[in-house]
Amino acid sequence: MEEQAKRKTVLSGIQPTSNLTLGNYLGALKNFVAMQQDFDSYYMVADMHAITVRQESARLRRRSIETLALFLACGIDPEKSTLFIQSHVPEHAMLTWVLSCNAYMGELNRMTQFKDKSARHADNINAGLFTYPVLMAADILLYQAHLIPVGADQKQHVELTRNLAERFNRAYGDTFVVPEPYIPKVGARIMSLQDPTSKMSKSDPNPNGFIAMLDDPDAIRRKLRRAVTDCEGCVTEDDSGRPGVYNLLTICSACSGSPVQEVSRELCGQGCGALKDRTADAVIAVLEPIQREYGRLLGDKQYLTDTLRQGAEKAGRTAQKTLRKVYHKVGFDSVKA
């Protein structure tokens, strides 16, 4: 118990809006599995964040369950981690209102993702799209998370969370842990197969730009054969200045466990076709067991239902404890026990 009390808390989440990609697995989910050994881990399916873009309700519910099943199939253990769907814990929305009253318009205006998403969804620039970084702050602060695994595109949101925590603590007394961004020691930044200067994204309109975690072997090989490389046509001992080739080497390395330099040496002088084939073999070897377990889990509806209920109860106990403290400090005294 003493060792458990000393463990730092991490929190992260993924939206269930579309198929998760190989980039999501290598950059996030694989690390979630590793971190649950050393941290008090909270992992959520962020369905509340998803509705800043209009969703079809039945599809969102189905995607949320499927994303949870993928989390489990990757090795996240509900006995070691708290695994839940965000909307199943109403304290997320309740804390968001309090934090919204402590957030400034100017700092929300500076959020680059609001500008990017507004450009992509010009027909639906809603208030939730503007304030969703406050919801993200509530996600983090509810669980008193010390560390937030993030990519470069999310560091700005962690900084806002830190500002809100420090501002609330100054106004009302010590309440929130002030979190730090966390870059896992083992991780891979996976780029688009069609534009290797951009991050692989599940929202990429070109399906050849990403490998979905549920793609079958033929689709994986086809997409990798079409991956952009360059006109040099062969692998050398140092391809760090060649984005397309280096991206394939990174993927192959992350999936096979061999260092990039070792893969480069083994394929040195061979054509990019050989690299693409080697990478496809490595990707398929990683994803096939996950896909089998995912299929098995989707067939066990009772287990998924029990996992969802238990996860919401575990997350809710921690969230209620934080919210009671916050509500009392701002003058609200009617939170249920």
Catalytic residues: 117, 199, 202
Going across the sheet that includes 40-45, the strands are 81-85, 40-45, 9-14, 147-149, 180-182
Query: What are 236's two structure tokens?
Result: 């050398």
Query: What are 325's two structure tokens?
Result: 């403290």
Which strand (E) or helix (H) includes residue 61?
A: helix 57-74
